[in-house]
Amino acid sequence: QIKESATLTRDVLEQHFSDLKGTLKKLLDERLLSLLQEVDVIEQESIKPLDECQKLIEHGVSTADDLLREGESAVDGDVGQQNEKLCNFTKKALHIQLDSLPEVPSLVDVPCLSAQLDDCLLTILKNQIFRHGTVASRPPVQLEEFVEKPGGILVRWCKVDEEFTAQDYRLQYRKSSASHFEDVYVGSETEFMVLHLDPHVDYQFRVCARGDGRQEWSPWSVPQSGRTTLVPHEWTTGLEGYSLSSRRNIALRNDSQSCGVLYSKAPTYFCGQTLTFRQVLFGIETVGQPDRRDSLGVCVEQQNGYDSLQRDKAVCISTNGAVFVNGKEMTNQLPAVTSGSTVTFDMEVVQLGPCNEGGNFKLRVTISSNNREVVFDWVLDQCCGSLYFGCSFSYPGWKVLVF
């Protein structure tokens, strides 16, 4: 563990500082280019009037030189030609202003470029670089427990540093054969249900925390492996009134006029082999118009021809919070199912006699919704090693996630 974490830490540091050097070089190159462009702009704008002044002066000198040669030629000619040439020379000289020059900018108005470079930047960078990064030997949070769920794992973690005040936690996972971890949860809770995991496959998990008011994350916990042996819950395909997600764990009541109960693909809610059975969770994501026949629950077997789970050999809760056991409504009632509700079924086996002697089979059922629960005994005439789950909705818009 020490060697592996040390090797990983070296790799992280080398990669980080390599990326940092590349980024700093890019930023310095961009700044240099910006300053050079600024020099070019000032140079072009400042030299333009001086170039125009120089052109005017050179043009005037050239004109005067041509006139001078023309005057010399007029003086050197014979008398007849002299009068004509002198006359032309005089007219031309009167139209040329040889005593005026363009305005030349004063010396104080002419820019003189220079680079102003403050060496204190190196001091600031040096101080920041020497304080950048830390190496920690003990993470403030550690993974605590893995609980198998159908097609997933409930991961719990805890603080091991009492002086550390956590603002957020960050959970990552990967298949044991994969090279990179990926984020699966960031938040303030200390547990998270990781779904869509393949059964009988090892996954590695790690968690870190962010201190209160801090931006950087703490060191990662020691990676730990977990797996689930339970196959994921899936809805049955092919029922006209419902549309399913690609993983078949989300059912959406569509606008088809067809009614009926949507059952699980298989009896994947196990009971009877252990004393306590964990939960089947129905996460209500969106809701439609309620109806008294609407229901969420578990049953012994699939029975077609019904439009509700409010029947024999089934326990369920309706969207108005009524609880039904074998088709009979209980006096106790739970809060109505609304958007964001979670309904939990928890069952514990209580047997009233050996099944092979015809004795009754009793399940102690706990249904929870919105921080309230009802507990009752569900008596069956047969042993049930596993149960189906199901739902029925009369109107479109209901969307149910099961896990």
The range of the structural domain enclosing residue 354 comes to 242-402
Q: Considering the domain boundaries, does residue 102 fall inside one?
A: yes
Q: Considering the domain boundaries, does residue 235 fall inside one?
A: no
Same domain, 168 and 116: no
Same domain, 191 and 321: no
Same domain, 41 and 118: yes
* Whole-prediction pTM: 0.60
Residue 298, SS3?
A: strand
| Cβ–Cβ under 8 Å, residues 306 and 239 | no
Q: Which residues, 6+ apart, have CB-to-CB distance to 224 below 8 Å?
A: 143, 146, 204, 205, 206
The residue out of 228, 254, 269 marking a domain boundary is: 228
pLDDT tens per residue across all 403 residues of the chain: 678 778 878 898 899 999 999 999 999 999 999 999 999 998 888 888 778 778 888 877 887 787 777 777 777 766 666 677 777 777 776 777 656 656 666 767 777 888 888 888 888 888 888 888 777 667 889 999 999 888 889 999 999 888 888 999 999 999 988 889 999 999 999 999 898 899 999 999 999 999 888 888 888 898 999 999 988 889 999 999 999 999 898 899 999 988 899 999 999 887 643 322 233 455 667 778 889 999 999 999 999 889 999 999 999 999 999 999 999 999 999 999 888 888 889 888 887 555 555 557 889 999 988 889 999 999 888 888 789 999 999 999 899 888 8
Q: Considering the domain boundaries, does residue 334 fall inside one?
A: yes
Specify the residue for token string 């199901």. 390
Give me the phi and psi of 159, to 5 degrees please.
-80, 140
CATH number for position 391: 2.60.120.920
Q: Considering the domain boundaries, does residue 236 fall inside one?
A: no
The DSSP bridge partners found for residue 390 are 263, 297
Residue 239, SS3?
A: coil
Same domain, 57 and 3: yes
Name the nearest CA neighbour of 233 among 199, 284, 192, 272. 199
Q: Considering the domain boundaries, does residue 237 fall inside one?
A: no
Helices (H), 77-167: 79-95, 120-131
Q: Considering the domain boundaries, does residue 223 fall inside one?
A: yes
Same domain, 197 and 269: no
Same domain, 253 and 371: yes
Q: What are all long-range contacts of 44-48, with beta carbons under 8 Å and residues at least 24 apart?
A: 46/110, 46/111
Q: Considering the domain boundaries, does residue 190 fall inside one?
A: yes
Same domain, 4 and 68: yes
Chain centroid to CA 395? 34
Same domain, 217 and 313: no
Same domain, 387 and 312: yes
Specify the residue for token string 């809701």. 287
Q: Considering the domain boundaries, does residue 79 fall inside one?
A: yes
The residue out of 228, 258, 287 marking a domain boundary is: 228
Give me the phi and psi of 344, to 5 degrees please.
-120, 130
Same domain, 368 and 256: yes
Q: Which residues, 6+ apart, have CB-to-CB distance to 172 below 8 Å?
A: 181, 182, 183, 184, 205, 206, 207, 220
Give me the phi and psi of 329, to 5 degrees please.
-80, 135
The DSSP bridge partners found for residue 342 are 283
Q: Identity (one letter) of the amino acid at 188?
A: S
Q: What are all long-range contacts of 89-92, with beta carbons under 8 Å and residues at least 24 apart?
A: 92/67
| Cβ–Cβ under 8 Å, residues 361 and 352 | yes
DSSP assignments along 159-226, one per residue:
ES-TT--EEEEEEEEEETT-S--EEEEEES-SEEEE-SPPTT--EEEEEEEEETT--SBPPPPPPEEE
Same domain, 277 and 163: no
Same domain, 252 and 224: no
CATH number for position 159: 2.60.40.10
Domain count, the chain: 3
Distance linking the first and last C-alpha atoms of the chain:
34
